[in-house]
Amino acid sequence: MTDRSVRDKGDSRGGRGRGAPRGGGGRGGGAKGGAKTIVEPHRHAGIFVARGKEDMLVTKNLSPGVSVYGEKRISVENSSGADDTVSKTEYRVWNPFRSKLAAGVLGGLDEIFIKPGAKVLYLGAASGTSVSHVADIVGPTGTVFAVEFSHRSGRDLINMATHRTNVIPIIEDARHPLKYRMLVSMVDVIFADVAQPDQARIVGLNAHLFLKVGGGVVVSIKANCIDSTAAPEAVFAREVTKLREERIKPLEQLTLEPFERDHAMVVGRYVRSTT
Amino acid sequence: MAAVDYLLHESAVGYAIFQVVHQADTIGNRLKEVQDAGQDLAKFGKMVKVVGFAPYRTAAEALENVNLVSEGVMSDYLRSELELNLPKPSKKKKIVLGVSDKTLAGSIKASFPGIECETGDTSEVVGDLLRGLRFHAGKLLVKLQEGDVDRAQLGLGHAYSRAKVKFSVQKNDNHIIQAIATLDHLDKAVNTFSMRVREWYGWHFPELVRIVSDNHTYAKLALAIGDKQTLTQDSLHDIAALVNDDGDLAQAVIDAARVSMGQAISDADMENVSAFANRVVKLAEYRKSLYQYLVDKMAIVAPNLATLIGEVVAARLISHAGSLTNLSKYPASTVQILGAEKALFRALKTKGNTPKYGLIYHSSFIGRAGAKNKGRISRFLANKCSIASRIDNFSEDPNTKFGEALRKQVEERLDFYATGTAPTKNEDAMRSAMDAVLGDIQIDDIPMTDAAPQSEKKEKKSKDKKDKDSKKDKKRRHSEVNGDEEAVEKKKKKKSKKESSSD
Ligand SMILES: C[S@@+](CC[C@H](N)C(=O)[O-])C[C@H]1O[C@@H](n2cnc3c(N)ncnc32)[C@H](O)[C@@H]1O
C-alpha cells in the first residue's frame, strides 16, 4: 500500500462539535496542514501505523467523518489508478495511554487474536472508546459483543454502537453470562478489562459458554484492583494460575510500561478438553 | 447421570428444540466425542436433529422473551413450544432436557412433571452439546438465512440494552446537534441562493432590490411579480401582503415596475427564475420550521439552559461539547471559552491573553455589557450556564424555573455593572426558584431538579439532613422538604463564594 496523506483532521477536544461560527471552527489541526504521513499496515492485521513526525498507531475508521471521543483522524489518499480517480481512507489515532489494548500492541504482543472478520467478546467495554477501535480492526465482517454493566458508560456505548453496526452493546453484568446468552454467538476471542478482583473467574465463565476451542483470551490485569498489598509480579503470577485453572493456556505476559503502571496483559488460548 | 434426550437452544431469533439422536456407548467416550464434534458441523449435525423451532414473530415479542429468559422465567411461548415438540413421557422414564440455565430449568420442571433437566453445570456433555448448538444452530435451522442470527442479535442487543439504561428517545440530544448544524448550513445556503435570485431577477427588475433589501421578502416578491409588465395597480393588495402590509412600500414597487430600466424577459426565462425563487422561498420557510423544532426540542432536553442563554447558543454549546452530558461535566471556565479553543491554545503558546469568551459571546448579555465588563459578565454567565446544564442533564423532568432565576441574576449583574444597583442575594434567588419548583411538585407530584431522587425519599433524607443542618447552617429551619433545597443551595454557596472572590 502506498498511501499519501493529505492532512490531519479533528481538533484537540470534542471531535463532534464543529461549526463554531468564530474561533475554533473548521479544522483544528490546521497548523499541520501539509504534513505528509504515510500509513503502513502493522504486523497485526487490521491495525496500521501512521508514520509522520512521530509514529502513531491507527485503525481504519468504520464510520468516516466521525470521531468517537475526540481522537484525531487522518485522511489518506490512496494511490490513484490510471484514470486519476482518487479514493480516500480515513484512519483514527489509537492512543496507547487511553487504551490498554493499544499499549499491549505497542509493547509487542505476539498474538492478539483480534483481526479482520473475528468475533470478539469484550468484557468491560466502558464508554466504548477502545471498543470502537476493536470494531475498526475486525471490520464489517467481524462482530464485537461489548459487555458493560455501568448504565452511565452504557449510554455512551450504545450511542457509539449506533454508528458501528458491528458492535452489539450488552448492558449486563459479565459475572452472569447466562443472562446475555441469547445475544452472543461463539466467539474467536475474549478480551477482558473489567478491573475486578475476580476477573479470571469472570473470563472463565464466559469462555466456557462462548469461546471456541482454541480461541484466544486477552486480559488486562491491574495489580491494584486484585490485591493492593502484594507485589504486582506476584499478583500477575497468581492470575495466570487462575486462568490456567479455567483451562486457559497462557501464551505470553507483558507489562504495560510506560503507558500504565503495574498493569499486565496476559494472552492465552482456550483448551477446553481436559484430556 | 441420565443421558440427555433433548436440548433447548434459546437465541436472538427464537427457541429451538433439538433431539439428541446419536448416543455414545460409554460416558467416558461420550465427552471426548462431543468435544471433538463440537466445532465440526458435519459431525455435530449427525448428533442432533431439529424437532421444533419457534421464531419470534415481532421485535417486541423477541425483547419480551429475551427479558424473561434472562431472568430464568419460562414464557408462554416457550411453554407451548415445549408442549408441542416434546413427546409425552412414560411413567418409567422421564425425558431429559438439556437447558443452559438452572433457574429456567427450575421453571420448566415445575410445570412439566415428566421432564428432568440437566445443565452445563450438572453435565459437561450437556454443556458441550449446548456449545455445539451455539456454534451451528444458524446452519442447522434450515429456515434461517445467512446473517439472520447476526441481524437479530444486533437489533435485540440494542433494544435490550436501551431498556436497561432507560435510554430516553425524547431527551435524545443528538437531534439537537443535528438540527443546529443543519440550521447553520441552511442559513448559509438560503443566503447564497437569495443572492442568486437577486442577481438573476435583477436583470429584469433592477430597481426592486433598492426598495426591499431583505432577502426573503425579495425572493417572495420576485415570485409574486414575475414579469413586471403584468404588474398593475390592482396588484397593490397582493404586494402589500408580502411586505407586512406596508402600503407605501407596495406602491413604490408598483411605481418602480412601471418605469423600470430592466430588460424584458421571455416566458421560458421567467419560468426558470420563478422556479428557482420558489425553491428559495420554500427553503427559507423550512428553515423557519426547523428553527421552531429546535426551540421545541430544547424545551424538552435543556429548558433551563435555553431559557438562560437562548435556544441557539444553548444548542451550539451542546453541539460543541458533543452532548448535554459532556457539557454538564465541564467546569464553568471551560464553558466560558468553549468554541474559542484555537485562540486559547494560541494564547497559551505565546503566553498572550487567553480569550474571554467563545460561543457564549453570541448571547445578548455580552453585547449589552460595557467594554471593560465583557469579560466579567462572560465569566458570570458561564457559571450560570454550567449550573443550568447540570440541572437539565440530571433532572428527570426539568422545567424552566431555575433558568428563569439564573437569567434574572445575569440581568441584575449587568445592571449592577452599569448602575451599581445591588443584585438579589444568590441565596434568596435560588431559594425562590426552589420554592417555585417544589410548589409544582406538590401539584402534580413529579420529582424535579437535580436533587430529584432525594425528594422521593424526603422523609428519610430530611432526617439525616437535620443533623447536618444543625452543624452546617444554623439559620436554616425548614422541615419536610428541605432536602432538595439544601443540596442546591450548598452548591450555590460555594459558587457565590468563588464569584465574589474573583470579581
Ligand atoms: C478499566 S474500565 C475498561 C476500559 C476500557 N476497556 C477501555 O480501554 O476503554 C473497566 C470497566 O469494566 C466495567 N465493569 C466492571 N465490572 C464489570 C462486570 N462485572 N460486568 C461488566 N462490566 C464491568 C466497569 O464499569 C468499567 O467501565
Q: Output the CA–CA distances (angstroms, integers) from residue B447 to B116, B313, B406, B451, in the order listed.
A: 49, 28, 20, 9
Buried b (16+ CB within 10 A) or exposed e, B291-310: beebeebbebbbbbbbbbbb
Nearest to B183 by CA among B291, B338, B340, B57: B291
Cα-atom radius of gyration of chain B, to the nearest Å?
Answer: 35
- Residues paired with A89 in a beta bridge: A76
Rounded to whole angstroms, how far apart are CA atoms B240 and B286?
A: 23
Per-residue pLDDT tens over the stretch B301-360: 999 999 999 999 999 999 999 889 889 999 999 999 898 888 888 888 888 888 888 899
Rounded to whole angstroms, how far apart are CA atoms A157 and A168?
A: 9
* Cβ proximity of A124 and A92 under 8 Å: no
Q: How many helices (H) and strands (E) does chain B have?
A: 25, 5
Window B:249-268, CB contacts with A under 8 Å:
none
Residue A155: its chain B contacts at CB < 8 A?
165, 167, 325
Question: What's the gap in Å between the CA of B114 and the closest CA on chain A?
Answer: 25
Per-residue pLDDT tens over the stretch B367-391: 888 888 988 999 999 999 999 999 9
Length of chain A: 275
CA B234 to chain centre: 52
Q: Which of A20, A22, A151 sits opposite B164 (nearest CB)?
A: A151
Per-residue pLDDT tens over the stretch A209-223: 999 999 999 999 999
pLDDT at B18 over 70: yes
Work out the percent of chain A whose per-residue pLDDT is above 70. 84
Question: Ligand 1 mean position to A170 CA, how many Å?
Answer: 12
Question: Ligand 1 mean position to B154 CA, how many Å?
Answer: 21
Cα-atom radius of gyration of chain A, to the nearest Å?
Answer: 19
**Res B501: pLDDT:** 44
Nearest to B297 by CA among B364, B363, B392: B392
Rounded to whole angstroms, how far apart are CA atoms A139 and B157?
A: 19
Per-residue pLDDT tens over the stretch A134-146: 999 999 999 999 9
Q: Which of B32, B158, B181 sits opposite A161 (nearest CB)?
A: B158
pTM value is 0.71
Residue B75: its chain A contacts at CB < 8 A?
none
Q: How many helices (H) and strands (E) does chain A have?
A: 6, 13
Closest residue to atom 17 of ligand 1, CA basis? A194
Burial category of B114 from C-beta neighbours within 10 Å (exposed 0-12, middle 13-18, buried 19 and up): middle
- A271 — contact with chain B (CB < 8 Å)? no
CA B108 to chain centre: 40
- Which ligand 1 atom is the nearest neighbour of the CA of A128? 9
Orientation of helix B148-164 relative to helix B59-70, angle to 10°: 70
Q: What is the mean pLDDT of residues B117-142?
A: 89
* Cβ proximity of B314 and B183 under 8 Å: no
**Res A9: pLDDT:** 40
* Band (A80; pLDDT cuts 50, 70, 90): low
**Of A22-31, A52-61, B128-137, which range is least confident?**
A22-31
- Which ligand 1 atom is the nearest neighbour of the CA of A191? 6
**Res B144: pLDDT:** 86
What angle (nearest 5°) sits at the alpha carbon of residue B58, between those of residues B52 and B59?
115
Question: What's the gap in Å between the CA of A54 and the closest CA on chain B?
Answer: 21
**Res B442: pLDDT:** 62
Per-residue pLDDT tens over the stretch A144-161: 999 999 988 898 899 899
C-alpha cell of A237? 503470577
Pocket of ligand 1 (CB under 6 A): A 99-100, 124, 126, 129-130, 147-150, 153, 173-175, 193-196
Which residues, other chains included, contact A69 with Cβ-Cβ below 8 Å and sequence gap of 6+?
A15, A98, A127, A129, A132
Start-to-end CA distance of chain B, whole Å, equals 80
* Band (B456; pLDDT cuts 50, 70, 90): very low
- A87 — contact with chain B (CB < 8 Å)? no
Question: What's the gap in Å between the CA of A142 and the closest CA on chain B?
Answer: 10
**Most confident listed range (A78-82, A189-193, B174-178):** A189-193
* Cβ proximity of B45 and B142 under 8 Å: no
**Res A28: pLDDT:** 38
Per-residue pLDDT tens over the stretch B43-92: 888 889 999 999 999 999 999 999 999 999 999 999 999 999 988 877 77
- A128 — contact with chain B (CB < 8 Å)? no
* Cβ proximity of B415 and B368 under 8 Å: no
Q: Which candidate in A72, A141, A182 is best for mutational testing of the B interface (most B CBs within 10 A)?
A: A182
Q: Which of A148, A183, A218 to mutate to test the pocket of ligand 1 (most atoms within 8 A of CB)?
A: A148
Per-residue pLDDT tens over the stretch B194-220: 999 999 999 999 999 999 988 889 999
Q: Output the CA–CA distances (angstroms, integers) from residue B333 to B356, B362, B499, in the order listed.
A: 10, 17, 12
**Most confident listed range (A4-13, A14-23, B8-17):** B8-17
Question: What's the gap in Å between the CA of A233 and the closest CA on chain B?
Answer: 33
| Average pLDDT value for chain A | 85
Window A:183-242, CB contacts with B under 8 Å:
183-186, 208-210, 212-213
* Cβ proximity of A163 and A202 under 8 Å: no
Question: Ligand 1 mean position to A221 CA, how many Å?
Answer: 12
Which residues, other chains included, contact A165 with Cβ-Cβ below 8 Å and sequence gap of 6+?
A140, B154
Which residues, other chains included, contact A159 with Cβ-Cβ below 8 Å and sequence gap of 6+?
B174, B323
Which residue's entry shows cell 407596495?
Answer: B250
Rounded to whole angstroms, how far apart are CA atoms B120 and A208?
A: 9
| Closest-CA residue of chain A to B121 | A208
Question: Ligand 1 mean position to B130 CA, how many Å?
Answer: 28
* Cβ proximity of A60 and A30 under 8 Å: no
- A31 — contact with chain B (CB < 8 Å)? no
Which residues, other chains included, contact B215 with Cβ-Cβ below 8 Å and sequence gap of 6+?
B190, B191, B194, B195, B197, B198, B284
Neighbour tally for B334: CB within 10 Å: 17
Question: Ligand 1 mean position to A152 CA, how many Å?
Answer: 12
